[in-house]
Chains A and B, each alone.
Chain A
Amino acid sequence: MSNMSQATATETTSEGVIESVSGPVVTAIDLDARMNDVVYVGEEGLMGEVIEIERNLVTIQVYEETSDVAPGEPVENTGEPLTVDLGPGMLDSIYDGVQRPLDVLEEQMGAFLDRGVDAPGIDLEKTWEFDPDVEEGDEVESGDVVGIVPETESIDHKVLVPPGYEGGEVVDVNSGALTVTDTVVELDNGEEIQMRQEWPVREPRPTVEKETPTTPLVSGQRILDGLFPIAKGGTAAIPGPFGSGKTVTQHQLAKWADADIVVYVGCGERGNEMTEVIEDFPELEDPKTGKPLMSRTSLIANTSNMPVAARESCVYTGITIAEYYRDMGYDVALMADSTSRWAEAMREISSRLEEMPGEEGYPAYLAARLSEFYERAGKFKNINGTEGSISVIGAVSPPGGDFSEPVTQNTLRIVKCFWALDADLAERRHFPSINWTESYSLYKDQLDPWWRENVDEEYPEYRQWAVDVLDEEGELQEIVQLVGKDALPEDQQLTLEVARYIREGWLQQNAFHDVDTYCEPEKTYLMLTAIRTFSDEAFAALEAGVPVEEAIDIEAAPRLNRINTQEDYEAYIQELKDDMTEQFRELY
């Protein structure tokens, strides 16, 4: 833990000289550096990181645009790895890939991102109301909570003894309005605790152990909650070609997932999309707490045209922030959109280093980096005894929508939920365009008890029924393609009709409709029971000799496709079930 600045602030800086510049890669000579040290490059002091050391030559990836930087200019080593500032003020804010607050940058350099400007990740001047949890004489260890700061409307920020501290007896406690650099608690061994701590981004924060997650991360999206649930502490990948709805799905998760904290990493994606999040989230309400969504959200935006090296680091910045809130005992959800851009940043840097490429030009360590990252997700027992979780949902953008490419394949080997987006579905405006035959969730079994207990004892059976009907439809569709629907036996024609309601009425969900955008598990379940009622009654009618055309033509049936937009869904569904039953029975 030598890199904890408060504990051992070693100022072993040294200066070197630039030897060559090629895009984001700069080499320097005569620089005393360790791997992954942060350095300041050139007259303008551009931030960079040491990524290779060879004899007297140090290779640096620079997080900013390098135009006009010339050999001979100085390089200064900070002697510390890339760290993030952790403390109150991270929620409701937006950072670039190296945790520079974008709103502060805008104040300093206007609408366009200039370079060579640094700003601390959290405001050093701002005061926070610190409410201590310990008294003089208390014993504390690393990880323990020493006090609470109301960070936003919905989140209490817990001030922790930084990991790596020895701990001891509290000898002094401050309270009231303090800045993040003021000492709030002092220990008998001289250790001082502030609201702000630093942590190197590439190193996971310590925990006691990883546990098996058993609670779903409820997202209010029927196809996810209902068919392919992710656990709190789980990992999921959303691969799909462009235009298939990756970003909308990620946004929906960021909006409605029932996590305490959301970290949204926009990695190499569109600027306007980040702007949309910045403008939308403060106006949206958390369905649970009724507070603005932004007050539980931290955004990291490294858009596609921002420097490529900072894109490489932005996922690490995000997950480190997530780990910090996990340590407080919160359930955190991290969305990374898109991990492919991160992998491409690795590829770009790797190729500038002239490393021997692996598959499709990606570096040979691609798989290792991806698994290191996803392994930081999970449900954990923290060192202070609390439990917290990090769920990671990574979008993947496979070239040409081909899932056999290296990033998708290496991701699939790690994650346990696979939500395959489908361009065909997107083309017919079936949203969310998640393919129900290709997707899977390995959390289903461990989450079933939760559904039985909290929604309905029968839910897993209903889900299985829906899956079976959809599977059968898939098989029947192949025949229909050859001979037409009318050539099928009547019961199979009816199955197709039931499957259509499952697809159109249940799986489809309109993210832009005020009511339909969020669907609680109870509603997800009840909607399915309504379609089941239709199915059961229709088959009974068929048995009784009613022709299939008449059976599927009952007047109430189209209302199955309207439940999604009903706010008062319970009454609506009950009435619909009654009407359907009545109308079916009238037929025979």
Chain B
Amino acid sequence: MQKEYKTITEISGPLVFAEVDEPVGYNEIVEIETPNGEVRRGQVLESTSEYVAIQVFEGTSGIDRNSSVRFLGETLQMPLTEDLLGRVMSGAGDPIDGGPDIEPEEEREIVGAAINPTAREYPQEFIQTGVSAIDGMNTLIRGQKLPIFSGSGLPHNDLALQIARQATVPEEDGADGGETEFAVIFGAMGITAEEANEFMDDFERTGALERSVVFMNLADDPAVERTVTPRLVLTTAEYLAFDKGYHVLVILTDMTNYCEALREIGAAREEVPGRRGYPGYMYTDLATLYERAGRIEGREGSVTQLPILTMPGDDDTHPIPDLTGYITEGQIYIDRDLNSQGIEPPVNVLPSLSRLMDDGIGEGFTREDHADLSDQLYAAYAEGEDLRDLVNIVGREALSERDNKYLDFADDFESEFVQQGHDTNRGIEETLDIGWELVSQLPKEELNRIDEELIEKYYVEGQAEQVTAD
């Protein structure tokens, strides 16, 4: 099958076109050898009986018409073994940590098949991240895909690292008595070497590396390779989760770079572009990544995804965050204003959302008052936020006592609930108790989102008066 062709007719951007006289499979892996002996890998994007279009992962520079093309007769595979834990790989899946070769237990196609919806188990287990803005307001659930929507220059990496460090699932008493830790699979796409170092230093400092697999495609690595990296990451994650029983936390950063690479390939193929030049199939393509999260009935492990993307111009209607938001189960917004106020982590809870939260909190999961309390915190914070605009015009004196309480509430919510620092790990009880102290600044009658019995039980008397006394 390994027939060699020297029939390249066209080279354009990341694409190489070659004539063939034998059928070649769609998505098949290709090796192109340049005259000076260098071997590049690529993948068949279009196959006809006369020619094939090949997408070259490592860039086309140096390839000429005399380069030879070999079709390997198989699609791209990821070598899999439990020993991958603790290893650092390139964005194309080769070890770059100087360690021994990977001796795979098996190899799997990286495209990955869709999980049959009837085989899925609905995710319901609360993950304690130790971050109040997430645990209290936008709870992360085991098997969820919850992206971080951020912007350039914002501390999304710090938040991701904090979650990776602190994330645990409180086990029911009596089972192990303890907590389960996550295996972290980290996929870097086009991030700078400096950012990469930040992650690696943190992994090494906290000893997290031994339960991690790292895939690194850096900013100066070939862009097309980025379209492969997340698939390697997720194939590894699925293997560890569903075959080996690990609870896997996948961090993908930065999805914006991945989408840029997709656009580059689309443009080279002269495809009809969709919005802002991104390919029309970007929704489907992103879905084939994000949907590879979840739980499967009867299997031990889970895949939880935490993709990070930087929104160009902080605009969440840009196609990348927009399509992502339509696929993922919520999103966490990092906010520029909060960041400049020094709030750590600067999570803006109002536009943030966790779609799986409702089924994973409350009695038996977190605490009976969780849902009502978070609803009330949301409503009150939104009201306070609205009033801030008004205050700029009319001043505080012109507002009613009720409005002033909401204004104070919004300020305190940011400085006491959201603000906690990147090294503080708060338990869920602590988070909820802080929440109660805050809502108790408001009169009981205002708490219309909370069940009366819960108000009786948790309302902190005396808070409301304190604030008005200021």
Given the complex of chains A and B, what is the CA–CA distance between A445 and B178 in angstroms? 62
- Whether the pair A344, B283 counts as a contact (CB closer than 8 A) is yes
Given the complex of chains A and B, what is the CA–CA distance between A549 and B448 in angstroms? 19
Given A70, A73, A242, which contacts B325 in the complex, CB threshold below 8 Å?
Answer: A242
Q: Which residue of B lies closest to A549 (CB)?
A: B400
A551 to chain B, nearest CB (A): 15
Given the complex of chains A and B, what is the CA–CA distance between A21 and B48 in angstroms? 6
Contact A428:B382 (CB < 8 A) given known A21-B26, A69-B26, A348-B281: yes
A105 to chain B, nearest CB (A): 6
Interface string of B314-344 (1 = CB under 8 A from A): 0011110011011101110000000000000
Given B116, B318, B448, which contacts A113 in the complex, CB threshold below 8 Å?
Answer: B116
User: Which residues 70-105 of A have a CB within 8 angstroms of B?
Assistant: 70-73, 94, 102-103, 105
Contact A401:B291 (CB < 8 A) given known A272-B356, A361-B272: no
List, in ascending order, chain B residues with CB within 8 A of A304's CB. Answer: 283-284, 287, 290-291, 327
Contact A112:B116 (CB < 8 A) given known A73-B23, A275-B121, A484-B399: yes
List, in ascending order, chain B residues with CB within 8 A of A115's CB. Answer: 113
Given the complex of chains A and B, what is the CA–CA distance between A483 and B331 in angstroms? 35
At the interface, yes or no: A66 with Cβ under 8 Å from chain B? yes
B71 to chain A, nearest CB (A): 10
Given B23, B379, B383, which contacts A70 in the complex, CB threshold below 8 Å?
Answer: B23
At the interface, yes or no: A157 with Cβ under 8 Å from chain B? no
At the interface, yes or no: B294 with Cβ under 8 Å from chain A? yes
Q: Which residue of B lies closest to A354 (CB)?
A: B272
Q: Which residue of B lies closest to A402 (CB)?
A: B317
Given the complex of chains A and B, what is the CA–CA distance between A351 and B273 in angstroms? 9
- Whether the pair A65, B113 counts as a contact (CB closer than 8 A) is yes
List, in ascending order, chain A residues with CB within 8 A of B242's CB. Answer: 111
B52 to chain A, nearest CB (A): 9
Q: Which residue of A lies closest to B266 (CB)?
A: A351
Given the complex of chains A and B, what is the CA–CA distance between A243 and B46 in angstroms? 37
Contact A504:B49 (CB < 8 A) given known A67-B27, A484-B390: no
- Whether the pair A303, B114 counts as a contact (CB closer than 8 A) is yes
List, in ascending order, chain A residues with CB within 8 A of B329's CB. Answer: 270, 272
- Whether the pair A303, B291 counts as a contact (CB closer than 8 A) is yes
- Whether the pair A272, B122 counts as a contact (CB closer than 8 A) is yes
Count of A residues near B, CB < 8 Å?
80
15 contacts between A and B (CB under 8 A): A67-B27, A71-B49, A102-B118, A110-B119, A113-B113, A114-B113, A272-B143, A305-B284, A305-B292, A399-B317, A400-B317, A428-B378, A428-B379, A480-B390, A561-B448
Given the complex of chains A and B, what is the CA–CA distance between A423 and B290 in angstroms? 23
Instruction: Given contact pairs A271-B291, A400-B316, enumerate 15 new A-B contacts (beta carbons under 8 Å).
Output: A19-B49, A70-B26, A70-B47, A71-B24, A71-B48, A72-B22, A112-B115, A242-B331, A243-B355, A276-B359, A278-B117, A357-B272, A400-B318, A427-B350, A481-B390
- Whether the pair A68, B116 counts as a contact (CB closer than 8 A) is no
Q: Which residue of B lies closest to A477 (CB)?
A: B386
- Whether the pair A106, B119 counts as a contact (CB closer than 8 A) is yes
Contact A486:B299 (CB < 8 A) given known A243-B353, A271-B114: no
List, in ascending order, chain B residues with CB within 8 A of A308's CB. Answer: 281, 284
At the interface, yes or no: B358 with Cβ under 8 Å from chain A? yes
- Whether the pair B445, A558 counts as a contact (CB closer than 8 A) is yes
Given the complex of chains A and B, what is the CA–CA distance between A425 and B146 in angstroms? 21
Interface residues, chain A, CB within 8 Å of chain B? 18-23, 27, 65-73, 94, 102-103, 105-106, 110-115, 241-243, 266, 268, 270-272, 274-276, 278-279, 301, 303-306, 308, 341, 344-345, 347-348, 351, 354, 357, 360-361, 397, 399-402, 423, 426-430, 480-487, 504, 512, 558, 561-562
List, in ascending order, chain B residues with CB within 8 A of A341's CB. Answer: 283
Given A113, A360, A430, which contacts B115 in the complex, CB threshold below 8 Å?
Answer: A113
List, in ascending order, chain B residues with CB within 8 A of A345's CB. Answer: 284
List, in ascending order, chain A residues with CB within 8 A of B280's CB. Answer: 344, 347-348, 351, 361
Given the complex of chains A and B, what is the CA–CA distance between A277 and B350 in angstroms? 27
Chain B contact residues, majority secondary structure: mixed
Q: Which residue of A lies closest to B117 (CB)?
A: A274
Contact A112:B113 (CB < 8 A) given known A360-B274, A429-B379: yes
At the interface, yes or no: B267 with Cβ under 8 Å from chain A? no
Counting from the closest, the 3 A-B pairs by CB-CB distance are A400-B317, A304-B287, A20-B48
Given the complex of chains A and B, what is the CA–CA distance between A562 and B274 in angstroms? 48
At the interface, yes or no: B11 with Cβ under 8 Å from chain A? no
A366 to chain B, nearest CB (A): 13
Contact A68:B390 (CB < 8 A) given known A243-B353, A272-B356: no
- Whether the pair A70, B291 counts as a contact (CB closer than 8 A) is no
The number of chain B residues touching the other chain, given as a range, is: 35 or more
Given A67, A114, A344, A402, which contacts B26 in the complex, CB threshold below 8 Å?
Answer: A67
- Whether the pair B75, A270 counts as a contact (CB closer than 8 A) is no
- Whether the pair A242, B272 counts as a contact (CB closer than 8 A) is no
Given the complex of chains A and B, what is the CA–CA distance between A487 and B399 in angstroms? 9
- Whether the pair A486, B27 counts as a contact (CB closer than 8 A) is no
B241 to chain A, nearest CB (A): 12
At the interface, yes or no: B120 with Cβ under 8 Å from chain A? yes
B426 to chain A, nearest CB (A): 22
At the interface, yes or no: B275 with Cβ under 8 Å from chain A? yes
User: Which residues 26-43 of B have a CB within 8 angstroms of A?
Assistant: 26-28
At the interface, yes or no: B157 with Cβ under 8 Å from chain A? no
List, in ascending order, chain A residues with CB within 8 A of B109's CB. Answer: 67
List, in ascending order, chain A residues with CB within 8 A of B449's CB. Answer: 429
- Whether the pair A243, B331 counts as a contact (CB closer than 8 A) is yes
Q: Which residue of B lies closest to A266 (CB)?
A: B117
Contact A276:B122 (CB < 8 A) given known A67-B26, A351-B271, A486-B399: yes
- Whether the pair B47, A71 counts as a contact (CB closer than 8 A) is yes
- Whether the pair A94, B117 counts as a contact (CB closer than 8 A) is yes
B47 to chain A, nearest CB (A): 5
- Whether the pair B49, A72 counts as a contact (CB closer than 8 A) is yes
Given B118, B287, B326, B378, which contacts A242 in the complex, CB threshold below 8 Å?
Answer: B326
At the interface, yes or no: B398 with Cβ under 8 Å from chain A? yes
A429 to chain B, nearest CB (A): 4
At the interface, yes or no: B222 with Cβ under 8 Å from chain A? no
- Whether the pair B117, A303 counts as a contact (CB closer than 8 A) is yes
Interface string of B385-399 (1 = CB under 8 A from A): 000011001100011
Given the complex of chains A and B, what is the CA–CA distance between A288 and B319 in angstroms? 43
List, in ascending order, chain A residues with CB within 8 A of B350's CB. Answer: 427-428
- Whether the pair B288, A305 counts as a contact (CB closer than 8 A) is yes
